[in-house]
Amino acid sequence: MSDVSPEVRSAHWAKTKNLTAIVLVIWFIFSFGVHWFADAFNSVTFLGFPLGFYMAAQGSLIAFVVLIFWLANRQNKIDEEFGVAEDK
């Protein structure tokens, strides 16, 4: 990234910071939000399990895996947009 102008670096970093903030908010929701409200979700059942338990035990993990792939894909698109992608 040494051959990129300071303006492009700044714009790239701004988009990367926004993506990071979005990912952290989603991560927080699935890490803490779902677990905080698990008791309220337990009145509904899903596949024979209380929904709160299912979302805490399985749903959060699935969301994290999807989040990782989405983050990698989105960051790659940002890198390509600014000409700093690694797979040129």
SS3 letters across the chain: CCCCCHHHHHHHHHHHHHHHHHHHHHHHHHHHHHHHCHHHHCCCEECCEEHHHHHHHHHHHHHHHHHHHHHHHHHHHHHHHCCCCCCC
Q: Count structural domains, the chain.
A: 1
Identify whether 88 is part of a domain. Answer: no
Q: 31: domain range?
A: 6-81
In terms of pTM, does the model score above 0.85?
no
Identify whether 43 is part of a domain. Answer: yes
Identify whether 87 is part of a domain. Answer: no
pLDDT digit string, tens, across residues 35-64: 888 888 888 887 887 888 777 778 889 999
Q: Which residues pair with 45 in a beta bridge?
A: 50
pLDDT digit string, tens, across residues 11-34: 999 999 999 999 999 999 988 888
Identify whether 86 is part of a domain. Answer: no
Identify whether 36 is part of a domain. Answer: yes
